[in-house]
Amino acid sequence: MGLHADPRPIGVFDSGVGGLTVLAELRRRLPAESTIYLGDNARAPYGPRPADEVRAYTLESVAWLLAQDVKLLVLACNTATSQALPLVRQVASVPVLGVVRPGAVAAAASTRAGHVGVIATAGTVASGAYAAAVGEADPTLAVTQLACPELVPMVEAGQLSGPIAEGAVRGYLGQLFAVDGEIDTLLLGCTHYPLLRPLIEQVAGPRVAVVDSAFTTALAAEDLLDALGGRTPHTGPGANRIVTTGDVATFTAVAGTVFGAALPSVERAAVTAD
Amino acid sequence: MGLHADPRPIGVFDSGVGGLTVLAELRRRLPAESTIYLGDNARAPYGPRPADEVRAYTLESVAWLLAQDVKLLVLACNTATSQALPLVRQVASVPVLGVVRPGAVAAAASTRAGHVGVIATAGTVASGAYAAAVGEADPTLAVTQLACPELVPMVEAGQLSGPIAEGAVRGYLGQLFAVDGEIDTLLLGCTHYPLLRPLIEQVAGPRVAVVDSAFTTALAAEDLLDALGGRTPHTGPGANRIVTTGDVATFTAVAGTVFGAALPSVERAAVTAD
């Protein structure tokens, strides 16, 4: 474990644009680090795909990022984390972080009542990854999950506030709290949801703490680099490459709606041989 | 960064017996891992010593643990973490975790009101390490610290409940909440305090979440090993060596009061050349 300052970039992978929330937190906390983001938009969303397909696509995408000589790999994708993290860790030659565990640990630290709610896509809910990770952090906690299929399309359409967004969030949280009224910590188990965080906090009310994976995963990446002594020796702002396997114009439109003017020029790359 | 299953032990350092709470959590969460604990009791407590002395003693102790071929080093000592962590990371050939950051991150995740209380020894409070770490996790949080000099001697005397212990805890928490009545998260900034956790939780009441460094540091060690793929390949229970630089009988008496029958036979070692 070479404990030397390391100028190489951090690789961030998502099936699409959602992982940009993790990238944004990483860059906010570690502005000197260079980053390479890969969105496998040509094959997104991963959620509905069978597990072996998710694993194969994730491994191809990760191989592409490793070929860019990254020092740390962040799976900023709940589906890839819940279905492929152990496999990626077996093949990767650098440390690998997923998004599930950091959020689960923060939720376990946050709840007073011992009741945690998780909202996520249908695929992530079905995987049970968050419930398992919260239980691993503290087996005494009660976890209630709810799939919120309308939220990702809503975020990608730029609807982060207003009556439609509020109606959707109010409907989902109403369902969740009807199942367990003692929930006092709400874990956002999808990388798109941090963009709805102000609205979700407003609807959930002050009694409920909202924990998001983007924030907690960025903290975990910072901790890992510090434990390894592997921060960049450079002090200026790091480079920020964003790459998609899909259509650049479509990616830029969706990502731009969501991230505004800070988005750099997006590149296209193929991660498969064909 | 050699990403291979790694059977070597985890090294845990404290100036005295307090870090045994971190060791106990580590062993509870990672029972297959071997551990070596070093307490520098011959020179404890570190709290009242000047910073350059703390750094020199910590480096000597760490060098002894590194010579035992540990794969990961945990500074389970608030004084050593707050005064020597960056230096230890410069010299160590393995990843190094301190106790301050994991607790601070969990406290930042936990507070709803944005008001965090920290109780610790006078030395840790004076270092400001927890206030800085909480602020680094989230600069919007208000942090109030209180030195509680009576608690370590009380724990070492085995007084974890009863009227004397309750009176001391009630007195300190009363002072802390008098300074900031909005505190809803209490960070135990001393490795002895987790043993008082049931009492502290009872006195603080259900509105206040108690966060302890032993629990959060053990989670951080688990995360680090997982990110590096560095868990032991063995599946049976790991070995547990406990070593003190001081008097074995005294260490065993204090540690036994605190940790009961689970304490293995304690060894003595010198970390200095003389």
Output the CA angle B99-B57-A220, nearest 5 degrees. 20
Our CA-based measurement puts residue B71 at a distance from the nearest CA of chain A, in whole angstroms, of 9
Topology agreement, domain A10-99+215-268 and domain A101-212: yes
Are A130 and A118 in contact by the 8 Å Cβ rule? The answer is: yes
The interface predicted TM-score (ipTM) is: 0.84
Domain B101-212, CATH: 3.40.50.1860
Q: Give contacts of B107 with chain A, Cβ < 8 Å.
A: 109
Put simply, the answer to whether A95 touches B206 (Cβ < 8 Å) is no
What pLDDT, on a 0 to 100 scale, did the predictor assign at position B53?
A: 94
Please state the domain extents for chain A.
10-99+215-268, 101-212
Give Cα separations from B270 to B55, B67, B243 (angstroms). Answer: 17, 13, 9
Q: Which of B103-112, B174-183, B249-258 has the highest mean pLDDT?
A: B174-183
What pLDDT, on a 0 to 100 scale, did the predictor assign at position A198?
A: 94
Put simply, the answer to whether B3 touches A92 (Cβ < 8 Å) is yes
What pLDDT, on a 0 to 100 scale, did the predictor assign at position B273?
A: 67
Our CA-based measurement puts residue B197 at a distance from the nearest CA of chain A, in whole angstroms, of 14
Average pLDDT over residues B195-203: 95
**Residue of B97, B219, B227 lying closest to A105 (CB–CB):** B219
Among residues B190, B204, B209, B243, which one is catalytic? Answer: B190
**Residue A133 region, left (φ>0) first, then alpha (ψ -120 to 50), else beta?**
alpha
What pLDDT, on a 0 to 100 scale, did the predictor assign at position A46?
A: 87
CB-CB neighbours of A42 under 10 Å: 16
The pLDDT of residue B259 is above 50: yes
Residue A8 — very low, low, confident or very high, per pLDDT cuts 50/70/90? very high
Residues whose CB is less than 8 angstroms from the CB of residue A229 and which lie 6 or more positions away in sequence, other chains included = A3, A4, A5, B89, B90, B92, B95, B96
CB-CB neighbours of A75 under 10 Å: 28
Our CA-based measurement puts residue B159 at a distance from the nearest CA of chain A, in whole angstroms, of 26
Are A12 and A62 in contact by the 8 Å Cβ rule? The answer is: no
Put simply, the answer to whether A3 touches B97 (Cβ < 8 Å) is no
Residues whose CB is less than 8 angstroms from the CB of residue A170 and which lie 6 or more positions away in sequence, other chains included = A203
Could you report the per-residue pLDDT of B108-161, keeping only the tens digit for each?
988 989 999 999 988 889 889 999 999 999 999 999 999 999 998 898 888 899
Put simply, the answer to whether B224 touches A226 (Cβ < 8 Å) is no
Tokens at A220, concatenated:
């975990």
Q: Give contacts of B216 with chain A, Cβ < 8 Å.
A: 109
Average model confidence (pLDDT) across chain A: 92
**At residue A117, what are phi and psi to the nearest 5 degrees?**
-105, 145
pTM: 0.89
What pLDDT, on a 0 to 100 scale, did the predictor assign at position B2?
A: 43
**Residue of B106, B109, B224 lying closest to A224 (CB–CB):** B224
- Across the A/B interface, how many CB contacts are shorter than 8 Å? 87
Could you report the per-residue pLDDT of B72-105, keeping only the tens digit for each?
999 999 999 999 999 999 999 999 999 999 999 9
Q: Which CATH architecture has domain B10-99+215-268?
A: 3-Layer(aba) Sandwich (3.40)
Closest-CA residue of A relative to B228 is A95
Q: How many CA atoms lie within 13 A of B258 on its CB side?
A: 27
Chain B interface residues (partner A, CB cutoff 8 A):
1-3, 89-90, 92-97, 101-102, 105-107, 109-110, 112, 137, 206-207, 209, 211, 216, 219-220, 223-224, 226-229
Closest-CA residue of A relative to B208 is A112
What pLDDT, on a 0 to 100 scale, did the predictor assign at position B1?
A: 40
Put simply, the answer to whether A229 touches B89 (Cβ < 8 Å) is yes
Could you report the per-residue pLDDT of A78-125, keeping only the tens digit for each?
989 999 999 999 999 999 999 999 999 999 988 989 999 999 988 889
**Residue by residue, what is the 3-state secondary structure of chain B?**
CCCCCCCCCEEEEECCCCCHHHHHHHHHHCCCCCEEEEECHHHCCCCCCCHHHHHHHHHHHHHHHHHCCCCEEEECCHHHHHHHHHHHHHHCCCCEEECHHHHHHHHHHHCCCCEEEEEECHHHHHHCHHHHHHHHHCCCCEEEEEECCCHHHHHHCCCCCHHHHHHHHHHHHHHHHHHCCCCCEEEECCCCHHHHHHHHHHHHCCCCEEEEHHHHHHHHHHHHHHHHCCCCCCCCCCCEEEEECCCHHHHHHHHHHHHHHHCCCEEECCCCCC
Put simply, the answer to whether B137 touches A228 (Cβ < 8 Å) is no
Chain A interface residues (partner B, CB cutoff 8 A):
1-3, 89-90, 92-97, 101-102, 105-107, 109-110, 112, 137, 206-207, 209, 211, 216, 219-220, 223-224, 226-229
Among residues B12, B77, B107, B118, which one is catalytic? Answer: B77
What pLDDT, on a 0 to 100 scale, did the predictor assign at position A1?
A: 40
What pLDDT, on a 0 to 100 scale, did the predictor assign at position A2?
A: 43
Least confident of A80-84, B8-12, B58-62: A80-84
The pLDDT of residue B11 is above 80: yes
List b or e across A230-269, with b for residues whose CB sees 16 or more CB atoms inside 10 angstroms.
Answer: bbbeeeeebebbbbbbbeeeebbebbebbbeeebeebeee
Could you report the per-residue pLDDT of A187-213, keeping only the tens digit for each?
999 998 998 999 999 999 988 999 988
The pLDDT of residue B253 is above 50: yes
